[in-house]
Amino acid sequence: MTSSPRPARPGRRGQPRPQPDPTRDIAFDILCGVVEHRRMLDTSLSRATETHKADPRDRAAAHRLAAATLRHLGTLRAVLEPFLRKEPPEPVRVALMMGCAQLLYLETPPHAAVGTTVSLLRRRGLAPFAGLANAVLRKVATEMGALLEGLDQPRLDIPQWLWSSWATMGPKVPRAIATGLSHEAPLDITLRPGVAVPEGGVLLPNGSVRFPAGTRVTELPGYEQGDFWVQDAAATLPARLLGAREGEHVADLCAAPGGKTAQLALTGATVTAVENNPARMPRLLENISRLGLTAQAIQADATSWQPPAPLDAVLLDAPCSATGTARRHPDVLWVKRPRDLAGLAATQDRLLAAARDMLRPGGRLVYAVCSLQEEEGPARARAAEAMGLEPMPFTEEELAFLPEARTREGWLRTHPGLWADKGGMDGFFAARFTRKG
């Protein structure tokens, strides 16, 4: 992150005229949206990009700054605490946290981090706090190492309710997840069969290819030709574990943007992808076409859609809290609340019941969520059993490349602390069932 290269021109009354800085303006709007209004980052990003007439580079830089701040929100609050004798208004705290994040995590030169924060406060009608920001950020810049010493950063950066909830997976799991969430996620792609590993990529044990964080997928050779698609290593597992085969009729419920549809289509099965959100249909269709795959995409609510004939297999990648994707979407940690889970679980149960009814006797169902929450994972697998679905556990052989993700029940449980030496993975839960004959 660099400073604005142009010197400030004098404005009225000899005051330096604040320079436009769309990157920090957008990041500030995003952060205020998350922290004050529990608004998702992507929602604010689109809105703020329009307001500040930003170009794609500003947008990307703003996203990176906002994400770095959110990834370390608890630590940044703790670092600032000793310098604030009185509680500042929340937007001022947000600007200070953003300034601190640039100093502590983004290697922004101190004069730029301090100067741009002061300008931001002036632009936003918060000039009375400019002096405070100047003094606090200068101190942070000089005492950086000492300020972080002794802080339990992974613990501070996770809201208490999530930390406690993750302990249901084992006492060491919350810390492992938090450590996995403390850095940017790498870029994983899934290759079409027969495509060579692109230069710079590392082949993972599940067959995914991994690139360093910040790699732009559209710039990798083979993207336009449809040689691969973006998909986290953990996200490849549910479709793989459905075991779809040529000649089978399968449905991919809740399908956009279509990573799992692509996997299923490549098995040779006849695939119907069902997605209810019209805004997400173009991405699904675009991906199917870029990859040159054959799959029927239908815009419909999967709780009421019915296949023309009973299906051999169904993949249900249900909507969820998405806490498993917090490496890429750190806002999730601060936007979601415990009370959101009951509504999501009710939707997941409705989708499970609908999926069950689509199957022929003996047909298979994989239920998956990118959530780390018990309510959306194991509790839903038990609900599926109560609906008359018969468990069909994942075997040791099927998960031989990732044995630590196989639970005693034969479910799949991944989290950002797994494959720590390789760069981690998203959090997923999956369970497989058959419909009794």
Ligand X SMILES: C[S@@+](CC[C@H](N)C(=O)[O-])C[C@H]1O[C@@H](n2cnc3c(N)ncnc32)[C@H](O)[C@@H]1O
Report the residue number whose CB is nearest to ligand X.
254
Is residue 425 classed exposed, middle or buried when 0-12, 13-18 and 19+ CB atoms within 10 A define those classes?
buried
C-beta of 255 vs 359, nearer to ligand X: 255
Query: Is residue 256 part of an annotated ligand binding site?
Result: yes
Q: Is 427 in the site for ligand X (CB under 6 A)?
A: no
Nearest to 71 by CA among 144, 178, 168: 178
* DSSP letter, residue 374: G
Among 301, 374, 390, 398, binds ligand X (CB under 6 A): 301
C-beta of 183 vs 350, nearer to ligand X: 350
Number of residues that bind ligand X (CB under 6 A): 18
Q: Is 280 in the site for ligand X (CB under 6 A)?
A: yes
Spatial distance between the Cα atoms of 156 and 178, rounded to a whole number of angstroms: 9
Query: Is residue 301 part of an annotated ligand binding site?
Result: yes
Contacts of 69 by beta carbon, 8 Å cutoff, 6+ apart: 27, 31, 76, 97, 98, 101
C-beta of 74 vs 258, nearer to ligand X: 258
Q: Which of residues 145-204 bind ligand X (CB under 6 A)?
A: none
Of the candidate spans 95-103, 140-148, 150-158, 251-259, the one that interacts with ligand X by CB under 6 A turns out to be 251-259
Among 88, 174, 259, 423, binds ligand X (CB under 6 A): 259
3-state secondary structure of 413: strand
Number of H helices, E strands in the chain: 17, 12
Spatial distance between the Cα atoms of 201 and 189, rounded to a whole number of angstroms: 9
Q: Is 256 in the site for ligand X (CB under 6 A)?
A: yes
The answer to whether 100 is a known catalytic residue is no
Contacts of 329 by beta carbon, 8 Å cutoff, 6+ apart: 40, 41, 42, 322
Distance between terminal CA atoms of the chain?
Answer: 61
C-beta of 163 vs 305, nearer to ligand X: 305
Give the count of beta carbons closer than 10 Å to the beta carbon of residue 59. 18
Q: How far is the CB of 233 from ligand X (least distance, A)?
A: 13
Query: Is residue 258 part of an annotated ligand binding site?
Result: yes
Among 275, 312, 331, 376, binds ligand X (CB under 6 A): 275
Of the candidate spans 169-177, 255-263, 330-338, 381-389, the one that interacts with ligand X by CB under 6 A turns out to be 255-263
The amino acid present at 58, given as its one-letter code, is D
Nearest to 98 by CA among 29, 200, 10, 169: 29
Q: Is 46 in the site for ligand X (CB under 6 A)?
A: no
Task: Take residue 263 and report the two structure tokens written for it.
Answer: 């996997």
| DSSP bridge partners of 316 | 253, 367
3-state secondary structure of 233: helix
Query: Is residue 275 part of an annotated ligand binding site?
Result: yes
Spatial distance between the Cα atoms of 21 and 305, rounded to a whole number of angstroms: 48
Q: Is 64 in the site for ligand X (CB under 6 A)?
A: no
Among 186, 258, 330, 427, binds ligand X (CB under 6 A): 258
Of the candidate spans 17-25, 288-296, 300-308, 409-417, the one that interacts with ligand X by CB under 6 A turns out to be 300-308
Q: How far is the CB of 157 from ligand X (least distance, A)?
A: 24
Q: Which of residues 319-338 bind ligand X (CB under 6 A)?
A: 319
Q: How far is the CB of 244 from ligand X (least distance, A)?
A: 14
Query: Is residue 312 part of an annotated ligand binding site?
Result: no
Sign of the four-CA dihedral 308, 309, 312, 313: positive
Residues of the binding site for S-adenosyl-L-methionine: 254-260, 275, 301, 317
Q: Return residues touching ligand X (CB under 6 A).
A: 254-260, 274-277, 280, 301-303, 317, 319, 370
Q: Which residues are catalytic?
A: 370
